[in-house]
Structure 1
Amino acid sequence: MTAETMSDRPTISLIIPAYNEEAYIGACLDAVMENIAGKAFEVIVVDNNSTDGTRAIVERYPAVTYVFEPEKGITRARQRGFLTAKGDILAYVDADTHPPAGWIEQIWEQFGRNQKLASLSGPYSFYDLAGWRNKVASGWFVAARPLYGIIGYMLVGGNFAIRRDVLEKMGGFDPKIEFYGEDADIAKRARKYGEVLFHPRFVMPTSGRRLQKHGYLRMAGLYFVNFFSIVFRGKPATKGYTDVR
Structure 2
Amino acid sequence: MSTVSVVVPSLNDAAMLRECLRCLAAQTRAPDEIIVVDNGSTDDTVAVARAAGARVVSEPRRGVLRATAAGFDTAVGEVIGRLDADSRPDPHWTARVAERFDTDPELAGLTGTGEFYGAGRFWRWVGGHVYLAGYFWFVRIMAGQQPVFGSNFALRQAVWERVRDRVHLDDPHVHDDLEITMTLDADMRVEYDAELHVGVSARPFQNVAGFKRRASWAFHDITLNLREIGWRERRRRRRTVLRARRRARSVVTDDGSRAKNR
1:127 to 104, 107, 117: 117
Q: Is the 8 A contact 2:4 2:81 kept in 1?
A: yes
Match of 2:21 in 1: 29
1:39 counterpart = 2:30:
yes
Q: Is the 8 A contact 1:184 1:230 kept in 2?
A: no
Q: Is the 8 A contact 2:97 2:110 kept in 1?
A: yes
Counterpart AA for 2:145: G
Match of 1:170 in 2: 163
* 74 and 203 in structure 1: CA distance in 2 versus 1, 3 angstrom threshold: same
Q: 3-state SS of the aligned residue for 1:59?
A: helix
Q: Which moved more, 1:203-212 or 1:88-97?
A: 203-212
Structure 2 gap segments, 5+ residues each? 230-262
* 219 and 210 in structure 1: CA distance in 2 versus 1, 3 angstrom threshold: same
For 1:79 and 1:220, how far apart are their aligned partners in 2?
Answer: 19
For 2:140 and 2:164, how far apart are their aligned partners in 1?
Answer: 26
Structure 1 gap segments, 5+ residues each? 1-8, 236-245
The Cα shift of 1:66 comes to 1.6
For 1:223 and 1:73, how far apart are their aligned partners in 2?
Answer: 11
For 1:229 and 1:22, how far apart are their aligned partners in 2?
Answer: 33
1:15 counterpart = 2:7:
yes
For 1:134 and 1:225, how far apart are their aligned partners in 2?
Answer: 24
The Cα shift of 1:48 comes to 1.1
The Cα shift of 1:215 comes to 7.0
1:114 to 104, 118, 121: 104
Q: Is the 8 A contact 2:204 2:211 kept in 1?
A: no
The Cα shift of 1:108 comes to 2.0
**Larger radius of gyration, structure 1 or 2?**
2
Match of 2:241 in 1: none
* 182 and 68 in structure 1: CA distance in 2 versus 1, 3 angstrom threshold: closer
Q: Is the 8 A contact 2:7 2:37 kept in 1?
A: yes
Per-residue CA deviation, residues 148-175 of structure 1 (Å, 9 max, x unaligned), is 6652221111211001111111125531
Match of 1:158 in 2: 151
Per-residue CA deviation, residues 169-221 of structure 1 (Å, 9 max, x unaligned), is 11255312324443222012224452022333323211111221127974785
Per-residue CA deviation, residues 75-98 of structure 1 (Å, 9 max, x unaligned), is 121121122211001111011111
Greater helix proportion: 2
Identity %: 26
The Cα shift of 1:12 comes to 0.3
For 2:89 and 2:200, how far apart are their aligned partners in 1?
Answer: 9
For 1:59 and 1:144, how far apart are their aligned partners in 2?
Answer: 34
For 1:65 and 1:123, how far apart are their aligned partners in 2?
Answer: 26
Q: Is the 8 A contact 1:12 1:40 kept in 2?
A: yes
**TM-score (normalizing by structure 2):** 0.76
Match of 1:66 in 2: 56
The Cα shift of 1:99 comes to 1.3
Paired residues for 1:222-237 under 5 Å: 222=216, 225-226=219-220, 228-229=222-223, 232-234=226-228
**TM-score (normalizing by structure 1):** 0.80
* 15 and 221 in structure 1: CA distance in 2 versus 1, 3 angstrom threshold: closer
Cα RMSD of the aligned pairs, angstroms, is 2.6
**Equivalenced residues, count:** 225
For 1:70 and 1:144, how far apart are their aligned partners in 2?
Answer: 29
* 219 and 47 in structure 1: CA distance in 2 versus 1, 3 angstrom threshold: closer
